[in-house]
Amino acid sequence: GTIGTIRVFLKYTKDRRPVIQGIKRESTPGCRRYSGHQDIKSVFGGMGLSVLSTSQGLMSGKDARTKKVGGELLCTVW
């Protein structure tokens, strides 16, 4: 199959501080992490974002909870 790529574009505040403070890779080739929609938690009190690969494509944790679809938890961004 084809290998997909996720691109992250950096953004900075007016005083040159990075907007993205951290990215954590949750699922690895050796240890996949799957989550049902009811188990997807908010990241940093809603200030962060989780990225899931679902049967409906890539989506944020918030969208996955709304659509009631689970999937593989790829990473969290805060």
Rounded Cα–Cα distance for residues 78 and 69 (Å) = 22
Dihedral sign, Cα of residue 5, residue 68, residue 66, residue 73: negative
Task: Report the predicted TM-score, pTM, of the whole model to 2 decimal places.
Answer: 0.81
Which domains does the chain possess?
A: 23-77 (3.30.1490.10)
Looking at residues 42-70, what average pLDDT do you find?
Answer: 94
Q: What is the pLDDT of residues 8-49, one digit of tens each?
A: 889 999 999 999 999 999 999 999 999 999 999 999 888 999
pLDDT at 1 over 70: no
Distance of CA 55 to the CA centre of its chain: 15
